Amino acid sequence: MNVGFIGLGNMGQGMADNLLEKGTSLTVYTRTKSKLEAMVKKGASSASSVEEITKTSDIILACLPDVATTIDIFTGRNGIVDNASKGQILVDHGTVDINTSKKCALAADEIGANFLDAPISGGPLGASSGTLAIMVGGNKTGFEKAQPYFERMGTNVKHMGPNGAGTAMKLINQLLVGINTVAAAEAFALANSAGVDIELAATLLGVSWGGSTMVERSAPITHSRQFANSKAPVRNLDKDLGIIKDLASTEGLALTLGLKSQELFKKMMDDDKPDHDIAGVLEVVEDMSAKMNRNK
């Protein structure tokens, strides 16, 4: 089966590499010519357009940066759906809103294609190591056909339910990522204030109730304060929490901690730090603390 992969960013590159290394007949497309050339050297084929890759692949996987790009690539003029055929499997690995996933599914269904929303979690390290969590919404038959390829990119692949369920699960995950990252930042701010070594604290927290994946991940980054130019940048989480904020409003959900976390990451964006690591929210906590002390 021929697999097409669109989007070779921080996540997509590792995913495509794993597909290729594990024997997939792979064609790639991205707008960056140098990335295409590098993949061809590794053994992949390249396409010059969305039209070409769609028409020459049985399964299309896309890992795109935002909602607008997803809509354009999947349902825009001469996009994936325009060029797809009956029975073809179309997969979106990006993080979008639930309505976008359902609209893509409806557009695919109208031509007899099969759309799966299959967002991912695990960060760039998970993408490069092939250990991603992949949460999939859509038709069970389509899922089963795509599953062998998902398992070449991830070790935790779950069919969550109908279209939109995969996206909903990713938003649940991102809600916790946002909250837990802020919680870790506050804990590390307290550690700094009390003179407790952050990495030592993280080791202890790893065997205590206060531990979390985000505590473990954020500790070395916070200790070194290497926040700039991250592969897990604030702009991505800010986008996801913005989607969650809109969803909370639509559904009438009091997501108090999530909405407060969204405000802090939005502050980082306003401070022109879109490419800072999400652990850099510590700087917002520190600025708020300094302001509070000045006002005493």
Q: Is 160 helix (H, G, I), strand (E, B) or coil?
A: strand
140 belongs to the catalytic site: no
Q: How far is CA 35 from CA 64, 238, 281, in A?
A: 15, 26, 31
Given the residues 103, 170, 239, 273, the one annotated as active site? 170
Q: Is 213 helix (H, G, I), strand (E, B) or coil?
A: helix
> String of b and e for 154-183 (b: at least 16 CB within 10 Å)?
beebbbbeebbbbbbbbbebbbbbbbbbbb
Of the candidates 43, 245, 232, 37, which has an alpha carbon nearest to the alpha carbon of residue 122? 232
Pair 156, 77: CB distance under 8 Å:
no
Instruction: Please name the helix (run of DSSP H) or strand (run of DSSP E) that holds residue 120, with its range, or none.
Output: strand 120-121
Tell me the catalytic residues: 170
